[in-house]
């Protein structure tokens, strides 16, 4: 992903936000905020039919040095490209990229209603760690998230 891809990334992010089951965010941030919140080494964009079909990126879970190898996954697929295997290819590439940069644990917090995302992560080696009940509100409604993690088999063993 290049800085110039931001408009396409933001559009896809907006589609995910609109579903109500992808994020607690209610609007996409501006570029400087998004850029500051995501690791530069693990930002991917996938093309589908000549257009941006999805994106994936990692965020640090902590600034503490002991957690330098732990990152949170964000993955969004454009509505027109869902159900075509693009998410699987994109998440697999993100896992490879994360390990190439010394990440030993990936985590994801997913709404229980987002069955497709839960299934995707589990197919690629994530396991459910637990449920965070009423962890935050979206549109004034308390929501749960399922916490998943994937431990690298090559980094940190």
How many whole angstroms separate alpha carbon 50 and alpha carbon 60?
31
Tokens of 54: 């999805």
How many whole angstroms separate alpha carbon 91 and alpha carbon 116?
13
Residue 27's CB is within 10 A of a number of other CB atoms, namely 9
The answer to whether 126 and 156 are in contact (CB under 8 A) is: no
Each residue of 120-141: pLDDT tens digit?
999 999 999 999 999 999 999 9
- When the pLDDT of each residue in the chain is averaged and rounded to a whole number, the result is 95
How many whole angstroms separate alpha carbon 24 and alpha carbon 43?
21
Mean local confidence (pLDDT), 104-122: 97
Give the alpha-carbon dihedral of 102, 69, 58, 87, to 10 degrees.
70
pLDDT band for position 3 (cuts 50, 70, 90): confident
The pTM assigned to this predicted structure is 0.93
Each residue of 7-42: pLDDT tens digit?
999 999 999 999 999 999 999 999 999 999 999 999
pLDDT band for position 156 (cuts 50, 70, 90): confident
């Amino acid at each position: 992903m290049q800085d110039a891809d931001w408009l396409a990334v933001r559009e896809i992010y907006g589609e995910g936000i609109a579903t109500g089951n992808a994020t607690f965010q209610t609007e996409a941030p501006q570029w400087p905020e998004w850029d500051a919140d995501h690791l530069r080494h693990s930002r991917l964009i996938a093309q589908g039919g000549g257009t941006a079909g999805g994106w994936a990126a990692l965020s640090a879970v902590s600034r503490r040095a002991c957690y330098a190898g732990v990152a949170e996954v964000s993955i969004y697929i454009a509505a027109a490209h869902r159900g075509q295997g693009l998410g699987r290819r994109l998440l697999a590439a993100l896992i490879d990229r994360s390990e190439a940069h010394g990440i030993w644990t990936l985590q994801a917090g997913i709404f229980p209603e987002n069955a497709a995302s839960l299934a995707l992560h589990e197919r690629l080696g994530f396991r459910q760690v637990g449920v965070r009940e009423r962890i935050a509100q979206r549109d004034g409604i308390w929501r749960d998230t399922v916490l998943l993690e994937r431990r690298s088999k090559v980094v940190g063993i």
